[in-house]
Amino acid sequence: MILLGVDAGGSRSNAAAGDGKGTVLARGEGGPGAIRPGTAHAAAAAIATACRDAMQRARIEGPAHALVVGAAGAGREPERTELETAVGALRLAATVRVTTDAEIALAGAFADGPGIVLIAGTGSVAWARLPDGATARCGGLGPRLGDHGSGYDLGMAALRAAGLAAEGLGPATSLGAKLSDRLRMQVSDWPRWVAESSVADVSALAPDVIDEAQAGDAVARRLVEAGADFLARHARNLAQRFKGDVTVAMGGGLFKYRDYYRQLAAGRLQLLAANVTVAKEPLDAAAGALLLASRLG
């Protein structure tokens, strides 16, 4: 029996191919698989790329017995149904289920038990499964209303700060040179780029912002510390709903690839919430999706 689990995010889709017990055999990667109205076919194509990559690396052929996709943006039934139909049409598996990124994250961290997951990637959100089995959320309102501490939030804040510095209206920062080099254009050309860029494009700047903070740039450090504080407060708000101790698992691309940021958020969280223990192991949402796939009939 071959199973597939996918964590479909705003910047990339991570897939895990596994056996009937949910043991990971290989992993694959594709483009953005997050779902928004009208993007189901593009998201499904990215998910398919990740699945096929994982199966090829595992040296197995499809279709799989079951596939579970946890997608950012799948909180509403219309988007879930639209993506599930688009993925099903690609015949990656006999049974396909699309759920939220929150469900696979909680499954990957805690199986069926209680706990909190704090995710910082293209977007940001904290989810909890309470001892009674109910779930609760803090954050995840999207790039325009929230997603504080996310890749998009850091990227946009850095663009603004560097723009102010270039105009002589803000403190000097190395971010202007760093982001100009990354974008291969001068600050004066940024307005057109920002107008035409996607959320994922802006989010891709966040690792540079974190690197500049770690290297000692005061402006970048202020932005990164503010982002880490916002994320910690997301998890703290949910931790207050637990009567006793609770474990927080941290995941998402920013935490996975920038341990400096993860440590800042973890340290701030432990100062804010005495009942929190931060999990040492990084959250594996794709493995959580694989676990859920193993439970499908």
Q: What is the pLDDT of residue 294?
A: 92
> Scanning the structure block, which residue is given the tokens 């990957």?
108
Q: Which pLDDT does position 144 carry in this prediction?
A: 85
120 close to 261: Cβ distance less than 8 angstroms: yes
CA angle 126, 127, 130 (to 5 degrees): 140
Average pLDDT along the chain: 94
> What is the count of structural domains for the chain?
1
CA distance 42 to 31: 9
Q: Is residue 73 in some structural domain? A: yes
Here the tokens at position 157 are: 């804040």
For position 7, which CATH number holds? 3.30.420.40
Q: Which pLDDT score, from 0 to 100, does residue 146 have?
A: 83
Proportion of the chain in helix, strand, coil states, percent, rounded to 5: 45, 20, 30
Q: Is residue 212 part of a domain?
A: no
DSSP for 164-177?
Answer: HHHTTSS---THHH
Does a structural domain hold residue 125? no
The answer to whether residue 113 is domain-embedded is no
In a domain, 187, yes or no: no
The answer to the question of residue 63 being in a domain is yes
Q: Is 134 exposed, middle or buried, given 0-12, 13-18 or 19+ CB atoms closer than 10 A?
A: exposed
Does residue 69 lie within any of the structural domains? Answer: yes
Residues of the domain holding 89 = 3-107+285-293
Please give the chain's pLDDT, 297 residues, in tens.
899 999 998 889 999 999 988 789 999 999 999 988 889 999 999 999 999 999 999 999 889 999 999 998 888 888 999 999 999 999 999 999 999 998 999 999 999 999 999 999 989 999 999 999 999 999 988 888 889 999 999 999 999 999 999 999 999 999 999 999 999 999 999 999 999 999 989 999 999 999 999 999 999 999 999 999 999 999 999 999 999 999 999 998 899 889 999 999 999 999 999 999 999 888 999 999 999 999 986
pLDDT at residue 297 in the model: 60
Residue 21 lies in a domain: yes
